[in-house]
Amino acid sequence: MTQESESNLVVRCQLGDRDAWESLVMRWHPRLWRFIFGMLGNRPTAEDALQDTWLQIVRSLIRLREPERLEAWMYQIARRVIADRLREQYRRPASEAFIDMAEEPVELGAIEALDSLRSALIQLHPSDRESVVLYYLEGKTLDEVAAICNVPSGTIKSRLHRARCQLGKILKKESGL
């Protein structure tokens, strides 16, 4: 969808058009879910975070003055909700910190590799994990990730490099190499 038509969709939503809201949710729900679940790795926590993200979007879309910035604006809301969840997670005692990595069923041969990758992702620093999820899993460009994270693109490049190095070490260690 072009940026102009997305901007028009935002304006229609701001005017209270229910069909526009439905279109917005249909377009953005899967993307926000992948981002939030990729960052949190726990289905129930991610579902709650997604619900909170949509609630904040619904409550504040009327104040979005630049409809063409919808994507960055929505991801920034999701980032704040994720940060809140991560703070809650870090405050809990280690015995309560349980990560449910189960997702949709996948081929049996790929389950072990998928679990290893998810486990490794969760071990990354949240800012590095966020960059990896947005860039590699969501397919955003460096400039788009930088806009979402509100940092220079060079910072995103550094985060991605550091994350790749850390993921390599973690996966090597887990495989016993």
Q: How large a percentage of the chain has pLDDT more than 90?
A: 59
Cβ-defined contacts of 65-72 (< 8 Å, 24+): 67/6, 67/7, 67/8, 67/10, 67/11, 67/14, 68/3, 68/4, 68/6, 68/7, 70/6, 70/7, 70/10, 71/6, 71/144, 71/148, 72/144, 72/147, 72/148
* pLDDT exceeds 80 at position 44: yes
pLDDT tens across 90-120, in order? 776 543 444 443 444 445 444 566 667 777 8
pLDDT tens across 55-98, in order? 999 999 999 999 999 999 999 999 999 999 888 877 765 434 44
Mean pLDDT of 4-8: 80
What structural domains does the chain harbor? 1-100 (1.10.1740.10), 103-177 (1.10.10.10)
